[in-house]
Amino acid sequence: MLMVRARGILPALVAAAVLPGCGISRLNESPSKTVDMNGSWVLDRAASDDPKPVLDKLRPKPVSRGWGAPPPDDSMVDDTGPPGGQQGGQGGGGRGRRGGGGQGQPPVIYRNSNDAYVHTTVIRMLQADLARAGYLTIKQSEDRFSIDYGSAVRSFTPGSISVVSAAWGVADQSSGWKGKDFVIQVKPQTGVASYERYSLSEDGQRLTEELQLGGGDFPSAKLKRVYDRTDKPVPRSVPNND
C-alpha cells in the first residue's frame, strides 16, 4: 500500500458522495495499449480552461435573512463572516459571526459554517494547485507513475488502492490505467470527491488533464488543462514530495 502525503488539491479534498462514474474501484496496472507519457510538459493556457469561472462557482454563496427572523444559531454561520465584512460587532455584525448588512438591508449570513469552511479550503487548494501546474514532468514505468511540478512530486502505484491524508481526515485513493488514460480518484468520508484523468494525443505531443470535483451538497465543477511536450526542463524550486 502506497501512502501519498499530498498537499495539493486532489489528495487533500474530502468526499462523502461519489461523482457519477467515479466509484473507488481498482484500476488497471497497465494501459490497454502502448502509451508513453514520459517527458516534460508546458501548459498551453490558450487551450486550457479559464479557472476563474470555476473558482467563482466554488465560492460560498451568502443568503439574506429577513428582518424579524430569529437570529441563526452560531453553529450555522461562518466563523469568519462574509469576505471583507466587518467583525467584532461593527456594522451590526454582533460577534463577527454574522454579516452586518447595510442600513435598511437584512443581514447576510452563510448557509452553515461547514459550507463556508469547505468551499474556502477547496478554493485555496485549487489555487495552490493551479499556481504550480504551469510545467510538469511525468515519469512512467510498469510499477510507478509520478508527476513532478518542480516544487512537489506526486507518486502513484498503478492498480493500487491506498489511504491518503486529507484536510478533514483520511481518504481512499485509487490510481491506475483506464484504457489509455491514467486516472486518480479520491473518495474521503465526507465532503468533496475528485476525479483526475490524464490523456495523451495520438501523436504523443499533447497531454490533457481533466479534473472533476463534486459530491454531496458541493457543486460539481470541471477544469481542463492542456500541455504541450517540451524539451525544456521543469523549473526547480524548493522540493516538496507529496
pLDDT tens, residue by residue, 67-115: 554 544 444 333 333 334 444 333 334 333 344 445 555 555 445 545 7
Integer Cα distance of 34 and 111 in angstroms: 49
Domains and CATH numbers, the chain: 9-57+135-230 (2.40.128.20)
Residue that is written with C-alpha cell 514505468 in the block: 141
Q: What is the pLDDT of residue 78?
A: 39
Q: What is the pLDDT of residue 103?
A: 56
What global pTM score does this model have? 0.70
Helices (H), the chain: 9-12, 51-58, 113-132
Assess contact for 218 and 118: CB atoms under 8 A.
yes
Supply 88's cell numbers: 467584532
Of the candidates 126, 152, 122, 154, the one whose C-alpha atom is nearest the C-alpha of residue 140 is 154
Q: What is the pLDDT of residues 129-182, one digit of tens each?
A: 888 889 999 999 999 999 999 888 999 999 999 998 877 678 899 999 999 999
